[in-house]
Structure 1
Amino acid sequence: MQEKVQNFMDEKLLPWGVKIGGEKHLVAIRDGLVTTMPLIIVGSIFVILSSIPWAGFNQFIATIFGVEWQSKLDFVVQATFNIMALLDAFTIAYSLANSYKVSGISAGVLSVATFVLVTPIQEGGIQIGYLGSRGLFVAIIVGLVSTEIFRIFVQKNIVIKLPENVPPAVSRSFVALIPSTVCLTLFWVIRLLVETYGNTNIHDLIYKIVGQPISIIGGGFIGGLFAILFTTVFWSVGIHGWDLVLSVMQPTWLQFVDENRIAFQSGEAIPHIINYTFMNTFVWIGGSGVLLGLAILLFFKSKSKYMKEMGKIGFPPTVFAVNEPLMFGLPVVMNPIILIPYVIAPIVCYIISYVSMSLGIVAKAVVLVPWSMPPIIGGYLATGGHISGVILQIVNIIISIIIYYPFFKIIDRKSYIEENEEKEN
């Protein structure tokens, strides 16, 4: 049975996963969004600072910056969250162009110009709302399409060439002239058609066609459950399943984080349970599979010398959600015994987290925190300073330890017996 399962993974699942994981456009979306992540995290820190539930701290800050200090913190929030899509239009195009070995800078600049072109103007200025998370889907489409147009013209050599003695920067700008003209003209015509005959704008149209279906899938309980199963199944054969999930769901989940952040700052009801922070902070504690529970058992409970060493090596990085030492060193990959709790533990933690938030027992995740943030701290920050987030993380860690324990005992005992047999021989 074990051999059949492994053969299925090797022959069917592994090639498919490798093909998806290497797809240029999905990789460009993932890498582009990751590039802007540090700015969003900084913005989240300032959101938390403006909402700390500590009267003494708030009074102290008010004496330094004045009674309007909270609105001044929003300067940083606006400079990060509110231009998220504009930045992603550049980074996605830049990443895709580099994969084609053409100028990433030129493609990124063209993508930004195209994104601004299709963005509605009101009272002489661009509507800032479309530059943030609301415009992510358009930023992705514009970044991919504009770069494809750019690279086709460049690779087919349909460009203006200048003499070799012309400075490279000037030469590159003329290389981009023809594809830029075609791309901007094309999107200009599309905008006119959408506004004239569709009585809407491209951002709202794309959100209805693409964003709403993905939001329904990714924001629901079943969608989140499938995302976890997809991640763990692919990781079981050594493919980074979470990267595959994020290449599709990350734009929606980042938008949900931003919508939660806006509601949190406005004192309104938080709309979304599932989002990017929810998954990283309350489900993937210690990385995929909630491996922090297994790392704790290896570190504190191992009788086998090898398992004890794996605990020493794997426990510290797993606290920061870096679980590759255990994935490939224990290993978890291709290990039928450990793969059972590896799949079950995150599902149970997901259900507990989802239900507790839907019932109002635990506060929802409202800001973006780094995926590598250690437990306890991460739960507190993610929920905007609620102790319920800390308690939920502790509960999930305990649950994961309980789930992994009987399987840990099997592999530890097996390794311990093998070590003793080697000593006797």
Structure 2
Amino acid sequence: MMNKFMNWLSESFAPTMNKWFSKPWLAAVSSCMQKIIPFILTGSLIYFYNVFVSFFPSLPDLSPILNYSFMLITMIVAFMMANQCMEKLNHPAYTTNAGIASICVLFMAVTPMGENSDSLSAFMGNLGPSGIAVGMVIGLFVSAIFHLWGKLNFMADSSIPDFVTGWINTIIPNVTCLAISMILVFVFNINLVNVILSIFMPISNILSTLPGFVLYSFVMAFFYTLGVSTWLWGAISTPVFMINIQQNIDAVAAGQAASQIATSEAVFTLAFITMGGVCCTLGLNLLMCFSKSKQLKMLGRVFIAPSIFNINEPIMFGAPVVFNPMLMLPAWINSIIGPIYVWFLMSTGLLNIPEKMIQVGQIPAPICSVMVTEDIRALLWWALLFVIYIVVWYPFFKVYEKQKLQEESQQG
């Protein structure tokens, strides 16, 4: 039965998923999520720096770096989404123009109306992390218009100079995008921000619950063991995680307690759910370092350095965990244990809920665990979870080790 299941995964399910996720639109979304990481990390560094400011008030104020990078993340997403769609859809002439058009449409959509119409702070607030979903949808909308127009090859055989043809082929989709947006915003008085965010609310509501939190972790790990990149899930999680961490930041600023557990900080920076990387492979790596198998011991010691920094592509594809039935199952089990463990600790007050946007996931644990929670108890809870992960890995690893020892004895 297990062999049939593995054959189905490797020969049917995984190739189908990889083919599906490589389609231009999905590939563009995944690429966009990767492209915006530096801007998220810029904000993370400033939040991290502000931890030191709280102890040393004389340090300079670096908030403008935060305000004009991460706090404009929705605008960056709008540009990058359209840019990457045009690249993946093979419209190189539109990569920049579609991105700029996307920003123009976004500004029209987020411009404050009514009593806040002259408020710069209200306008800037709409461009912050809470509107990432808005930037994504607008980027996709603009991309669809440019893509449809690009497929027409308008004036492709014209004798008009190329630069004039280029202008025309940019102006028409530009006007189309802005005209549709104008009609929706200024004629029908539709608040596009609220409409788009309402579409994402069911996803946010599910992901912000314990079952949704666990499901997200499991799905990410499941597909990773099939060789499918974890970046693909950023389109679902990033908008929700950004909104949730911003709610925690705002709550603390208002003198209230942080309450949103489902954040990137809790999944990645904390290094509990992703201890050693997605699938919690640090425990496996440690077992490999002391294996009786010469091959596994050598690989374990090679892979341990990146694992400490929560980078586990080497062990996932080199051990391998990917498509290895003996190691896939414990990876799935740990992906369920981790989020339940974190949710229990944070919901019961045994571990602080992250209240700062720190998404630097390559800081070794448990240093990052204490840093992101500002809670020394994280040391104890990290160590306990590490032991639990090793216990889960151990029986499966020993079976795999036995197989490797047999192979080595036959080769010797």
Q: 2:186 aligns with which of 187, 192, 198?
A: 192
Assess, with a 3 A threshold, how the Cα gap between structure 1 residues 264 and 30 changes in structure 2: closer, same or farther. Answer: farther
Answer yes or no: is the 8 Å Cα contact 1:369–1:378 preserved in 2.
Answer: no
Query: Which residue is 2:104 aligned to?
Result: 113
CA deviations 1:121-159 (Å, max 9, x no partner) are: 334355222111222222111100111101211220236
**Contact 1:20–1:244, Cα closer than 8 Å, also in 2:** no
State the Cα distance separating 1:193 from its structure 2 match.
4.7
Of 281, 284, 293, 2:283 maps to: 293
1:41–1:369 CA contact under 8 A, matched in 2: yes
- What is the one-letter code of the residue matched to 1:150? F
Contact 2:267 2:273 in 1 (8 A): yes
Unmatched 5+ stretches in structure 1: 66-71
Cα distance in 2, alignment partners of residues 269 and 80 from structure 1: 26
* Residue equivalent to 1:69: none
Alignment of 1:28-39 (within 5 A): 28-39=28-39
User: Is residue 88–residue 139 contact of structure 1 (8 Å, CA) maintained in 2?
Assistant: yes
Q: Give the superposition deviation at 1:267.
A: 4.1
Deviation at 1:379, TM superposition (A): 1.5
Deviation at 1:291, TM superposition (A): 0.4
What residue is the counterpart of 2:95 in the other structure? 104
Identity of aligned residues (%): 25
CA distance in 1 between counterparts of 2:40 and 2:141 reads: 25
Is 1:255 the counterpart of 2:243? The answer is yes
Per the TM alignment, residue 271 of structure 1 is displaced from its structure 2 partner at its CA by 2.7
For residue 164 of structure 1, report the CA deviation from its aligned partner: 7.0
**How far is the alpha carbon of 1:185 from its aligned partner?**
0.3
Q: Which amino acid aligns with 1:178?
A: I
Offset of 1:114 from its aligned partner?
A: 0.7
Contact 2:131 2:239 in 1 (8 A): no
Aligned equivalents of 2:53 and 2:353: distance in 1? 16
Alpha-carbon shift at residue 351 of structure 1 (Å): 1.0
- Offset at 1:111? 0.4
Determine which of 339, 358, 369 is the counterpart of 2:359.
369
For 1:245, the equivalent position in structure 2 comes to 233
Q: Distance in 2 between matches of 1:150 and 1:125?
A: 32
Match of 1:348 in 2: 337
> C-alpha separation between the residues in 2 aligned to 1:212 and 1:256?
12
- Alignment check: 8 A CA contact 2:33 2:231 kept: no
* Count of matched residue positions in the alignment of Structure 1 and Structure 2: 402
Report the Cα offset of residue 73 of structure 1. 3.1
Task: Give distance in 1, aligned partners of 2:35 and 2:89.
Answer: 19
Q: Which runs of 5+ in 2 are unaligned?
A: none
Verify the 8 A CA contact 1:85 1:133 in the aligned structure 2. Answer: yes
* 1:213 matched residue in structure 2: 202
Which residue pairs with 1:68 in the alignment?
A: none
How far off is 1:313 after superposition?
Answer: 2.1
**Normalized against structure 1, the TM-score is what?**
0.87
Residues 95 and 396 of structure 1: CA distance in aligned 2, closer, same or farther (over 3 Å): same
CA spacing shift, 1:387–1:52, aligned 2, 3 Å? farther
Q: 1:136 aligns with which of 132, 137, 142?
A: 132
**Cα offsets for 1:145-195 (capped at 9, x unmatched):** 1111012112202369997766x5x76444210111111101111113542
AA aligned to 2:175 is T
In the TM superposition, residue 256 of structure 1 has moved relative to its aligned partner by 1.7
The SS at the match of 2:42 is helix
Matched, 1:19 2:10: no
8 Å CA contact 2:105, 2:177 repeated in 1: yes
Match of 1:223 in 2: 212
- Which residue identity lines up with residue 207 of structure 1 in the other structure? L
Report the CA distance between 1:18 and its aligned residue: 1.5
Q: Deviations over 1:200-239 (max 9, x none)?
A: 611112212x121111011111111111221222223222
Which residue of the partner structure matches residue 177 of structure 1?
A: 171
1:324 to 1:123, Cα distance in 2 relative to 1, 3 A: closer
Which residue of structure 2 lines up, in the alignment, with residue 74 of structure 1? Answer: 63
Aligned to 2:142: 146
Match of 1:2 in 2: 2
Deviation at 1:11, TM superposition (A): 4.2
The two structures, once aligned, show a CA RMSD in angstroms of 2.4
Match of 1:89 among 78, 87, 94: 78
Contact 2:48–2:358 under 8 Å retained in 1: no
